[in-house]
A and B are shown apart, each in its own frame.
Chain A
Amino acid sequence: MYNFLFYFLIEVFGVLFMILSFGTVLIYFIIMILSALEMRDFRRKNRFADYQDIITSPIAPGVSIIAPAFNEAANIVQNAQSLLSLHYGKFEVIIVNDGSKDDTLQKLVDSFALVKTAFAYNPDIETQAVRGVYRSTNKSFRRLIVVDKENGGKADALNAGINVASMELLACIDVDCILANDSITRMVRPFMEETNRKVIAVGGVIGIANNCDVQDGTVTKYRIPESTLGRFQVIEYFRAFLMGRMAWSRVNGLMLISGAFGFFKKDLVKAVGGYFPKTVGEDIELVVRMRRYMEEKNQKYRVAFVPDPLCWTEVPEDESVLSRQRNRWMRGTIETLQLHRKIGLNPRYGFFGMVSFSFWTIYEKLAPILELMGVLYTLVLILIGDFSAVYFFALLTMIYLLSLLISVFSILYEQITYNNYKDKKDLRRLIWIILIEPFVLHPKVVLWGLRGHFDFIMGKGGWGKMIRTGFKTAEDKKNIQTQTGV
């Protein structure tokens, strides 16, 4: 009897893995084709784009840039300056000092001649206490607003910024990322262009600034990072932005807008109650909740994506930092999917619920677990000497080839659209990384993901109870006391 059960399980797993590998191959081919089509259309559209009068036009919407800062004293002044020098007509820069323990605030006050104002703070979205709102006495810094508040984490700081923001659009960014001068004009375009559907959010490409030359807020010379981990992330970012996001934006299925660089419609962010400070994945969670809101209100909407290179950031090249980052991403994903599990496979949420959500569940959340099981399964097959182990070896080889193909194509896409990495030596190095990635780096990523799962189960971070019950509707967040019981 046990014998029979064992073999039965082996059979079931065999079928499951076969379906999974077939699905993976199919899905990634579809993604590659969709992203190629999107790339083609984007290039065609850009031929006719004329950004010359968006800076001065009174029709262009105002933008509130919100940058939370926590212990950033070293670079905060320089970062604020580069934000203030962006080329756009109607915008304000809101820097939120999230209870820094260093002299971030003092540095800002000194450099920009700030004084504490009598600003009547309206906690439309609940946040930690705001200690003061600062503005400059110097006219040339009139765009700058500094909010000083008690520490509450990134999402909480962003919420405080949203409460203070006075413009129609929000640009939520990491204070230390490098923005191109024309980044606002480019990101605002999708909001201005669409008429049939409401554009609720726009995401951008994040480039890797490690080892590159930066001049006046733009990367002038591209070089790939020195370390293998850094180089690996270059390819990873190509894949994520030039393939993944491109393809999903074509079918309006984007679930994630990177927290380092995202634009949102303010009225909608407020309607859903802002960022949810109890999750470590506040960026993906907000987009999911906004989409859910639009679906629940039966309104046509779109989450757009701008593939122009506009934002660069330093990625961690240190293994322990990177592993913590990936662990956090995984927990954020699990928490978000958990909070909104009502959406999953629910036809009421259309394509978003049926396809995007399921894809994320299988290929982002469960991927490390499935991979681990796949490896164990193959090992078991080999141990019991089952002949079908050979087939599964064939499948594994195929998945390896698939990963090569995807990575090579993503580099090709980069060459066709940007052609930033001009040095042939750099390209050869990247190809080498592609070859070794599945053996050397990928297992680490899987491991970090598994640790994320483990930490989630152990209830590290996040807000256990709430996440277990989930949101009943997109607006549910507003009814929840997020500030108590910390």
Chain B
Amino acid sequence: MNGMKKTKVLFPLLFLFFTAQGQEIDSLFSDSLQLQQELIRQENISNLSYQFRLMEEPSSELDSLFDFEETDSGWVSPKETDWAKLDSLHGVFVGYNPSLEYVIYEDIADQGGLENYLQTLIRTGDFVPGFDPNSNKIDLVLEASKDVFRPLHEYKLRILADYKLFWVTIIVLFFLITAALMITSMLIFKSQRNKRENLKKEYDELIIGPLTSLLFEKDLEEIKQISKLDLVEIFPEKLFDKPLFKQVMIERIIGLNKKMKGEFKDKLKAFYKATGLMDITRRNLKSKRWDIITTGLVQVNEMDLSELLQEVKKHTNSSNFHVRSQSGATLLNVSSTVNLDFLRDQKYPLSEWQQMNYLRIIKFVHNTKSLELDKLFRSENPSVRLFGIKLVRMLGRLDLLTGLKELSTKASDEEKIELLKTYETIGAHMEVDFINSCIQSENQELQLEAVKVAGQLGDEKSLQLIIGLFAHNPDFELKKSLMRSMYLLNPETFERYTKDQFSEEIVRIRAHILDPLLTHV
């Protein structure tokens, strides 16, 4: 795309360049006299010679001077390359009318051809035009006004004639420099990685022994009393000041904590707190990089660092998805009294991924901790309200139905669909009025869902509504749904309305509904 634009600019430039060259040819010399003067001044120009041509036979005296050659078109003198002699030679032809001819290599050229040739020589640098200072004595101003303005003629020609070289050099240089930079950075990256990996392995070995014996030989109270001074005895000195060493230690402890049960878990946690690894976690939480913050959050979560919950809370509305998701999960997991305020006040939409993580944790804790789930119904954030409705369904919390009823009065269509699904799952027959109102909705999606749910929870009124809709020949999807619900509510009505139908579509859908292999399709 950029290329296109560039060429558009370059075309006029190129054109200018060519026309500029054309003008130079016309105006290099104002007349043949000036040209000849220039040639005389140059004395010698490579491969350029001149000769005289006579139309009448030269006298023998003249012939002996020049040794003329007779041709079809007159008598031609031998070629002469020394232009300085031009004037003196010309003087010999008294009484004759010779014409002067320019010869380039072996060919005769007219003035235009000669100027073209000189032009080429100028470009290659074999011919440097200049003006005889003696010839400018007449009128400097007049002469100057005859001369076309040519600023820095030589330089312009050299750069323009070699613009390709210029650009190719730039491109190749750019390529070489960038390639070199990339290769070096890759090499540095690799060697740093290798170094880190090796160090990690080394530290690993150093950690395993002492940590193992510590876990078996000290009891929980002793571990809680460990001070930094004791650590120097347990682990090699100095190492404990190295960030990488601590990082490896944290990784190992967290990894072990996941796989251990009972007193070992408590001992690991106590050790984590006593040795000041928690300070690293705290620092991680204050980092600017999202992945470091998230690492810190994971550490809080795994090691139950309830002391840091205040720090965790600050991240619940982070603009980074991973940070706010992990901080929410950590809050739910670690705090003893879970307060769902953070979730209710969430500014960003809840992604399904987050919902999945929260659902897992809430499932785990909703029996032991008192969660006020109905808080979510009052959230300003639609996705949080939707999640609240889903939670009722997925946790089977019938006690929250009153909260849902309250919500349903001012719910959006999307929320209504979610409400319908929830009512269907937990079998909320008392909400049939709500279902019936949804069947009459203008929103097709909502209507479709309501018709479907009515098949399970509907009453006589639902059936009437369904029959009413069916009579209006709806589209395929809705028709199928209507017929299925009709069948579920009252097989006899279904028979009455669908048997012996002329509509090929209804016949097919009827067969579909009656096929036992397709009950849920």
Contact = CB atoms under 8 A, between A and B. Distances in A.
Q: Do chains A and B touch in the complex (CB under 8 A)?
A: yes
B508 A120 contact: yes
A37 interface: no
A15 B322 contact: no
A183 interface: no
Interface string A32-72: 11000000000011011010011001111100000000000
Interface stretch (A217-225, A294-302, A397-405): A397-405
Contact of B356 (A57, A398, A405): A57
A191 B14 CA distance: 52
User: What interface size band does chain B fall in?
Assistant: 35 or more
B352 A192 contact: yes
A354 B508 contact: no
A48 B175 contact: no
Contact of A120 (B14, B322, B512): B512
A1 interface: no
Nearest to B183: A405
| Chain B CB within 10 Å, residue with most, of A23, A26, A118, A166 | A118
Interface string A389-415: 001101100100110010001001000
Given A118-B512, A194-B351, A195-B349, A57 B360 contact: yes
Interface string B495-521: 000000000010011011011011001
Nearest to A118: B511
B168 interface: yes
B107 to A, nearest CB: 17
Nearest to A193: B353
B3 A19 contact: yes
B399 to A, nearest CB: 20
A145 B11 CA distance: 61
B157 interface: no
Contact of B322 (A45, A121, A405): A45
B349 A196 contact: yes
B93 to A, nearest CB: 38
Contact of A22 (B4, B171, B356, B359): B171
Given A57-B356, A195-B350, A405-B182, A18 B512 contact: no
Interface string B230-259: 000000000000000000000000000000
A355 B1 contact: yes
Contacts of A115: 517
B214 interface: no
A461 to B, nearest CB: 29
B383 to A, nearest CB: 7
B30 interface: no
A193 B517 CA distance: 35
A483 interface: no
A405 B179 contact: yes
B7 A398 contact: no
Nearest to B182: A32
Interface string B173-186: 01100110011001
Contacts of B172: 394-395, 398
Contacts of B390: 59
A48 B326 contact: yes
A53 B168 contact: no
A122 interface: yes
B291 A47 contact: yes
B6 A60 contact: no
B72 interface: no
A412 to B, nearest CB: 6
Given A11-B14, A391-B164, A23 B3 contact: yes
A25 interface: yes
B518 A118 contact: yes
A29 B177 CA distance: 11
B175 A44 contact: no
Contacts of A19: 3, 6-7, 10
A477 interface: no
Nearest to B360: A53
Contacts of B511: 118, 120
A22 B173 CA distance: 11
Nearest to A136: B517
A240 B449 CA distance: 43
A9 to B, nearest CB: 11
A24 B508 CA distance: 58
**Residues of A contacting B: mostly:** helix
Given A20-B3, A195-B383, A59 B359 contact: yes
Nearest to A408: B183
Contact of B186 (A22, A121, A193, A409): A409
Contacts of B295: 47
B515 A119 contact: yes
B342 interface: no
Contacts of B385: none
A245 to B, nearest CB: 20
B131 interface: no
B518 A192 contact: no
Contacts of A392: 168
B49 interface: no
A354 B3 CA distance: 12
B501 to A, nearest CB: 13
Contacts of B359: 57-59
Contact of A118 (B326, B349, B508): B508
B123 to A, nearest CB: 12
A61 B10 contact: no
Contact of A391 (B1, B3, B168, B514): B168
Interface in B341-356: 348-353, 355-356
A15 B351 contact: no
Interface in A102-120: 115, 117-120
B294 interface: yes
A265 interface: no
Given A137-B517, A195-B321, A14 B164 contact: yes
A119 B519 CA distance: 10
A323 interface: no
Nearest to B352: A192
Most A CB contacts (10 A, CB to CB) among B171, B179, B350 go to B171
Interface in B407-428: none
Contacts of B356: 53-54, 57, 59-60, 192
Interface in A335-386: 345, 354-355, 358, 362
B26 to A, nearest CB: 15
Interface string B158-178: 000000110110011011001
A117 B517 contact: yes
A86 to B, nearest CB: 19
A12 interface: yes
Contacts of B174: 22, 25-26
Contacts of B326: 48
A135 interface: yes
Contacts of B509: 120
7 contacts: A15-B7, A18-B167, A21-B171, A57-B360, A117-B517, A118-B514, A194-B351
Which 6 pairs between the two chains have the least Cβ-Cβ distance?
A: A118-B511, A120-B512, A192-B352, A195-B349, A358-B1, A120-B508
Given A8-B14, A25-B174, A195-B383, 11 more contacts: A22-B171, A32-B182, A33-B182, A48-B326, A53-B356, A61-B352, A118-B512, A120-B505, A191-B352, A398-B171, A412-B186
